Structure 1
Amino acid sequence: MDQSLLSRASAPRCCSFNTVKSWLPILTWLPQYNLKWLKMDVLAGLTVGLTTVPQALAYADVAGLPVQFGLYSAFMGGFIYMLLGTSKDVTLGPTAIMSLLCFSVVGGEPHRAVLLSLLCGLIQATMGLLRLGFLLDFISYPVIKGFTCAAAITIGFGQVKNILGLRGVPSQFVLEFYYTFAKIPEARVGDVVLGLVCLTFLITLTVMKRTLPEDNAPTISRVARKLIWTVATMRNALVVIGASVVSFSWETYGYDVFTITGKTAQGLPPFTPPPTSDTTANGTNVTFGEMVEDFGGGLAVIPFMGLLESIAIAKAFGSQNGYRIVANQELLAIGLTNIMGSFVSAYPVTGSFGRTAVNSQTGVCTPAGGIITSAVVLLSLAFLMPAFYYIPKASLAAVIICAVAPMADYKVVMKMWKIYKRDLLPFGVTFFVSFWEVQYGIIAGIAVSGALLLYNTARPKIKIFDNDTLVLELRGEVSFPASDYLSNFIHTNALPASSPRSVVLDCHHVSGIDYTVVNELSDLLRQFKLQGVRLVFARLEPSVLKVLLAADVKGLRYTDSVEEALQESQNLHSD
């Protein structure tokens, strides 16, 4: 009877409106939606949409996929995130980093890229449901910066061949670096000129946007400011449209001046389950298990990096605009986006910093702005795909280079040098290994960070006050990796064969100990007794004292202050 009442009482709590709102954040803001919000969301959605289309086309090239796959990946996030997202600013879609990671894992094979999206989404959504967002805390900032700096250089330099109009350049960075310079005599003048013009235009507008006057300027200046801001915000779309018009004009007169995107699939992608098998170029069938095995470590790296990038962006803009995000809910939103995206031939996506910044600066009020962005992408797929035939690759390369350039943050090296030099080790390992294989760079960086973390755990800080009685002040939690080091340290400093000394162990900063440490301390107490000196504990935290008393440590002596412990240690008459 009691259990029945309990289950009936708990059921309403589990299915309460507050619980439903926690899983569907749209129910929090939708009842308050108004006309002013709609106006701002439509404006922001259109602005971001005009930024998304050229970037999606360009990032598909980074992923080694046909350009339409960038657009396939760019619209599902708007629908899913409106329902599940907790940030008004974040926009989900293809990014430079995820595109590079995708290429490193699937090598530009569309079927595998789509399956990778499904598997990544399942991992991410499962993490969200199980509330495992804390695992992202184990990826340190130096690892992230090492990866993003290397990715910026890899992606940016990878587009130089398109600026030069070169063909047959390998994708592996070292070989790409060599052959790009080796093939410079084969560069196409039209691509070089167009690429440099596009780069100059993008850089100029970017600088102009950064140096705009404040809103409190005179009326004429405010109008000019808004005009420049609008043009600069849509600079990617303007560059691609302008370059396409130039390319079309030359093609119409029969001149093959530029390397163009070429034929692309027209129309919306079919809604079909992602492929679970593949066929190689020589006709060999590849099973689902073999495809998953080929993904290797990328199947762990890509979901984590996608989550990390998106949550970092959401937290940054949440802090800037005065709201908080729910990390585990964000995991669920991006996971479901990748799952549903795989049914429309999308490759893995995450939050985009650049497009999120545009969204925020335009004044978006709710995640509903993503619906307008998705609509712009869908309209492009439905009606503009024939026009994409004439997009010069040099213009897309210019868009990518300008998008990833800010990620190459060289100043962070100087900051690490000044603040904590040891952080340069995981940064450097991640940075240099990433030029070999991106996912291995991240894994190596995490491994080095973990090793440093374990080293710090195994080597607690011990401050020495050297008097007739040795006072050792411990700091932090002393757990089993530190037990042997602590024992050897005390032996070396307090129990040499010639002149053993009593020791006061100041444990005021020790927050916890475990079974291994208790055993080691018990052994130390026996050895001190045999040497005719004492080991006295001072200022034990209640939790630590409770553990020692529960272990019934023989010969345990403890005091409330270091001074009392020093007096106790001078009394060599054991009980």
Structure 2
Amino acid sequence: GSEGRSLGRCCSYPTVQRKLPVLRWLPRYSLQWLQFDLIAGVTVGLTVLPQALAYAEVAGLPVQYGLYSSFMGCFVYCLLGTSKDVTLGPTAIMSLLVSSYVFHDPTYAVLLAFLSGCIQLAMGLLQLGFLLDFISCPVIKGFTSAASVTIGFNQVKNILGLRNIPRQFFLQVYYTFQKIRETRVGDAVLGLVCLAALMGLQEMKRHIPKSHRAEPMFVRTSRFIVWAAATARNALVVLFASLVAYSFQLTGSQPFILTGMTPRGLPPFQPPPFSLVTTNRTVTFGEMVQVGKGLGEGLWGEGGGVSSAPTPCAKSFSVPGLTNLLGSFVSSFPVTGSFGRTAVNAQTGVCTPAGGLVTGALVLLSLAYLTSLFFYIPKAALAAVIICAVAPMFDAKIFRTLWQVKRLDLVPLCVTFLLCFWEVQYGILAGMLISGVLLLYSIARPQIQRDVLLIQPASGLHFPATEFLREVVYKQALAVSPPRCVILDCTHVSNIDYTVVTGLAELLQEFWRMGVSLAFCGLQVVWEWRRGALDSGW
């Protein structure tokens, strides 16, 4: 019956393919794709390893939690992802949002990942992706620009080797300058060298010319080596800094602040914590949740994923939601789509989401065998990685652009930008509120042009009528105070000559000088070949 047919459609192969996108490309997988996916996976892995350690520092968590958060998204997106380029994992902005909630306690971070995943999955199932359309670009730009400044300045203390600096932005600025005399020379020199190296390699990558088959093999190989070094610059710089620190360790002196001991091994697979036992009492689930902040992190983390992934909103909500939900069982903090690593993935020529399997495997191998080497990573080197990662997020041009396009949009931009330095959530909510008020006001109070003159010639326009038309328009529109706009309805005009076109062009210029508009409507096809003559005055 009809129930059987419905069941058959739900279980049909095309339907299963839509629900499980891996079935679209896996049957066609080839050795050539495997080669490109391996290269892309390793390249992204070399990018994600130092960034994961650094972003855990931004979140206020031990560095191993950055690695715990970096592999689940690779595996989930391989099965459910619809874009070959997108990567999921820890990001600078998400780490900043997490830092305002976790209080340096990983238990809160893991619970937040679980709550964010539940919220995102629910929004995906309810098809609520359209809600992101109500977050205006000025609010997003204000938030990301403020976040880049906050995250970048937060790493100045590690570049200078300063200790006991508060995490709140304004207190951070005050105490950083107050303790500037306590700067450790070793950390400052190494941090600045790492910054210069990262910026130099990044600039080098931008100016590498494209290779051509006609060029000698030596030239193409050299360009590939330079490109690979520039792409994996974060890993190379961190490796260089670690070797320098290890060399000093062998001599018995250590001028750098090091990352320190990192626990070895994979995280245990266990449910996220729903309570926290302290020395004094047990913190209940309700006290841990802090619904307002947890909900804010979930929504904003998903905003980054939707912006990064060219997929339908429901799927974009579902994949990061499932990643965060499953990630909470392996001690992950919330993750989302990464712009930088997605770009690296695309540039290396990845063919399928299977590249994520290589990246995830590389992270797991580093957790299993390489954590002892993380001891020698200087914090100044990780700080340089973070600063270079967040610097492009500050968009200074947006202020000038909005001034030229629509100055009123500067209000939500500036409010969001300034309040995010105090509290990220308040800045976002205030910007959204102002944008909503401006939108509702424009809907409730649309601009109505009252003083408009409508002129409708009853037949063709020929040169004898040019002067008469200009006089009528001038007397009734330009000679009055204030000047009136004019709409010239050409519905009945099927013929026009050059003299009239010239006269109308001059009339347009007069209207421009007076600051009012002369608009044409109902133009016929016969006008098409003559429009070029009006371009100079249109």
Query: TM class by shorter-chain length?
Result: 0.7 to 0.9
The question of 1:309 aligning with 2:304 is answered yes
Instruction: Give the drift of 1:242.
Output: 1.0
Alignment length, in residue pairs?
452
The alignment yields a C-alpha RMSD, in angstroms, of: 1.4
Residue 246 of structure 1, aligned match among 244, 252, 275: 244
Q: CA deviation at 1:312?
A: 1.1
Corresponding residue for residue 413 of structure 2? 427
From 331, 337, 341, the counterpart of 1:355: 341
2:79 aligned residue: 83
Structure 2 CA distance for aligned equivalents of residues 249 and 32 of structure 1: 49
Native 8 Å contact 1:91 1:351 kept in 2: yes
Would the aligned equivalents of 1:301 and 1:442 in 2 still touch at CA under 8 Å?
Answer: no
2:441 alignment counterpart: 455
| Structure 2: distance between partners of 1:214 and 1:270 | 46
Displacement after TM superposition at 1:118 (Å): 0.3
Which amino acid in 2 is paired with 1:150? Answer: A
The structural deviation recorded for 1:329 is 1.1
From 363, 373, 377, give the equivalent of 1:391: 377
After TM superposition, list the pairs within 5 Å mapping 1:36-115 onto structure 2.
36-115=32-111
Aligned to 2:120: 124
Cα gap change, 1:47/1:467 in structure 2, threshold over 3 Å: closer, same or farther? closer
Distance 1:185 1:237 in 2: 31
Residue equivalent to 1:532: none
Q: Which amino acid aligns with 2:160?
A: L
The runs of 5 or more residues in structure 2 that have no matched partner are 455-538
One-letter identity of the residue aligned with 2:244:
V
Residue 418 of structure 1, aligned match among 386, 392, 404: 404
Aligned twin of 1:499: none
SS of alignment partner, residue 449 of structure 2 = strand
Deviations 1:371-428 (A, max 9, x none): 0000010000000111111110000000000000000110111111111111111111
Q: What displacement does 1:188 show? A: 0.6
Aligned residue for 1:135? Answer: 131
Deviation, structure 1 residue 256 = 2.6
Distance in 2, matches of 1:223 and 1:312, equals 35
2:450 counterpart SS class:
strand
What is the CA-CA distance between 1:28 and the residue it aligns to? 1.0
Give distance in 2, aligned partners of 1:87 and 1:341.
21
Task: Kindly state the Cα deviation for residue 195 of structure 1 after the two structures are TM-superposed.
Answer: 0.5
Q: Partner residue of 2:509? A: none
Q: Does 1:300 align with 2:295?
A: yes
Kept in 2, the 8 Å contact 1:86–1:330? The answer is no
Unaligned runs of 5+ in 1: 316-324, 469-575
Q: Say if 2:352 is the partner of 1:366.
A: yes
Q: Distance in 1 between matches of 2:104 and 2:133?
A: 31
CA positional deviation for 1:258:
0.5
Q: Distance in 2 between matches of 1:416 and 1:26?
A: 42
Match of 1:12 in 2: 8
Structure 1 equivalent of residue 200 of structure 2: 204
Any runs of at least 4 consecutive aligned residues in structure 1 with deviations exceeding 4 A, and if so which? none
2:285 aligned residue: 288
Q: Which residue of 2 aligns with 1:440?
A: 426
Give the Å deviation of 1:235.
Answer: 0.7
- Which residue in 2 is equivalent to 1:275? 273
Distance 2:57 2:227 in 1: 28
Distance in 2, matches of 1:397 and 1:253, equals: 25
Residues of 2 paired with 1:82 and 1:103: CA distance?
28
Residue 231 of structure 1, aligned match among 229, 232, 255? 229
User: 1:260 — aligned with what?
Assistant: 258
User: What TM-score do the two structures reach when normalised by structure 1?
Assistant: 0.77
Tell me, yes or no, if the aligned pair for 1:195 and 1:398 is still in contact at 8 Å: yes
Contact 1:147/1:441 (CA < 8 Å) preserved in 2? yes
Give identity over the alignment, percent: 60
Shift of 1:467: 8.1
Cα shift at 1:466 = 6.3
Q: CA deviation at 1:439?
A: 1.6
Using the alignment, how far apart are the partners of 1:81 and 1:448 within structure 2? 36
Q: Give the structure 2 partner of residue 485 of structure 1.
A: none
SS in 1 for 2:83: coil
1:232-264 deviations in whole A, cap 9, x for unaligned?
A: 011100111111111112122221311001111
Tell me, in whole angstroms, the C-alpha distance in 2 between the residues paired with 1:258 and 1:308. 38
Name the CA distance, whole Å, in 2 between partners of 1:459 and 1:412: 27
Asked whether 1:376 is paired with 2:362, we answer yes
> Aligned partners of 2:205 and 2:242: how far apart in 1?
24
Deviates more, 1:128-137 or 1:389-398: 128-137
Distance 1:27 1:131 in 2: 23
Q: Deviations over 1:271-314 (max 9, x none)?
A: 0111001134x522110111112xx4322221222221112112
- SS of structure 2 residue aligned to 1:462: coil
The two structures have a TM-score, normalised by structure 2, of 0.82
Supply the distance in 2 between the matched residues of 1:410 and 1:279 (Cα, whole angstroms): 46
